[in-house]
């Protein structure tokens, strides 16, 4: 990672994964072409779960043991560090140019990158665990209906897990005074 001052620890990476609405899974197809797809992903420990229809590109491109990379991004926003008056005053100050790129025309973000291998879950109990994890993350208020829905879904749904082999995280965020938070200062 080039910006070591923005690197965060693996626990922070797990938090980013848990907060993210989706992750993008990338791999290389058997024909050597890149393939990337956004997925609804849930995490249990160092296992990531997603589901799929029983046919399609994911099924074709993700044989057991396939190396994959996943990227998650959360807390993306443009910081509002300056008042309109302060921004107007920057027009009169040639020295303000350095602030523009780093504090005005920028975004705050949190990201996590995963390297791992993907496996289709075929054991009904494991598939159910994966589906339950996904549903608890995305539809927690409807879990009373989960068993009924899962009973029919298990037969027609593929469930995959990615076993995390490598996990990194990075973030850019400013404190209330407009200073960028640095190396592992979670704030």
The domain that contains 30 carries what CATH number? 2.30.110.10
Give the whole-angstrom CA distance, residue 97 versus residue 107: 17
* Residue 56 CB burial class (10 angstroms; 0-12, 13-18, ≥19): exposed
Residue 14 belongs to a domain = yes
Residue 178 belongs to a domain = no
The rounded percent of the chain whose pLDDT value lies above 70 is: 94
Closest C-alpha among 30, 42, 65 to residue 137: 42
Residue 93 belongs to a domain = no
pLDDT band at 180 (very low <50, low <70, confident <90, very high): confident
Mean pLDDT in residue range 163-182: 87
pLDDT, mean over the chain: 90
Q: What is the pLDDT of residue 2?
A: 61
Q: Which residue has the tokens 């626990």?
A: 11
Q: What is the pLDDT of residue 145?
A: 95
Residue 183 belongs to a domain = no
Q: What is the pLDDT of residue 141?
A: 97
Residue 96 belongs to a domain = no
4-18, 146-160, 162-176: which range is least confident on average?
4-18
Residue 55 belongs to a domain = yes
Residue 81 has pLDDT above 70, yes or no: yes
- Looking at the structure of the chain, the number of domains it has is 1
Closest C-alpha among 10, 16, 17 to residue 133: 17
Measured N-to-C along each axis, helices 124-138 and 146-156 cross at an angle, to the nearest 10 degrees, of 130
Residue 181: its H or E element = none
The residue ranking higher by pLDDT, 93 or 161, is 161
- 130 is in which domain, residue-wise? 4-76+108-171
Instruction: Tokens for 7, please give them.
Output: 């690197």
Residue 135 belongs to a domain = yes
Return left, alpha or beta for 75; rule: phi > 0 is left, psi -120 to 50 is alpha, else beta: left
Please report the sign of the dihedral spanned by the C-alpha atoms of residue 120, residue 58, residue 44, residue 7: positive
32-59, pLDDT tens digit by residue? 999 999 999 999 999 999 999 999 999 9
Residue 128 belongs to a domain = yes
pTM of the complete model:
0.86
Q: What is the pLDDT of residue 185?
A: 47
The residue ranking higher by pLDDT, 179 or 120, is 120
83-87, 91-95, 145-149, 151-155: which range is least confident on average?
91-95
Give the whole-angstrom CA distance, residue 139 versus residue 103: 36
């Amino acid at each position: 990672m080039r910006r070591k001052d923005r690197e965060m620890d693996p626990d922070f990476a797990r938090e980013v994964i848990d907060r993210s609405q989706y992750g993008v899974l990338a791999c290389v197809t058997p024909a050597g072409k890149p393939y990337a797809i956004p997925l609804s992903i849930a995490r249990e420990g160092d296992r990531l779960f997603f589901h799929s229809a029983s046919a399609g590109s994911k099924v074709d491109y993700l044989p057991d043991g396939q190396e994959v990379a996943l990227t998650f991004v959360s807390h993306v926003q443009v910081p509002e560090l300056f008042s309109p008056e302060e921004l107007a005053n920057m027009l009169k100050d040639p020295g303000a140019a350095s602030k523009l790129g780093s504090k005005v025309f920028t975004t705050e973000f949190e990201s996590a990158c995963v390297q791992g291998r993907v496996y289709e879950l075929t054991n009904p109990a494991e598939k159910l665990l994966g589906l339950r994890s996904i549903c608890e993350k995305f539809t927690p208020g409807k879990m009373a209906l989960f068993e009924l829905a899962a009973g029919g879904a298990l037969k027609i749904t593929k469930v995959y897990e990615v076993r995390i082999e490598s996990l990194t995280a990075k973030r850019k965020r400013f404190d209330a005074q407009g200073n960028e938070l640095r190396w592992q200062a979670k704030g």
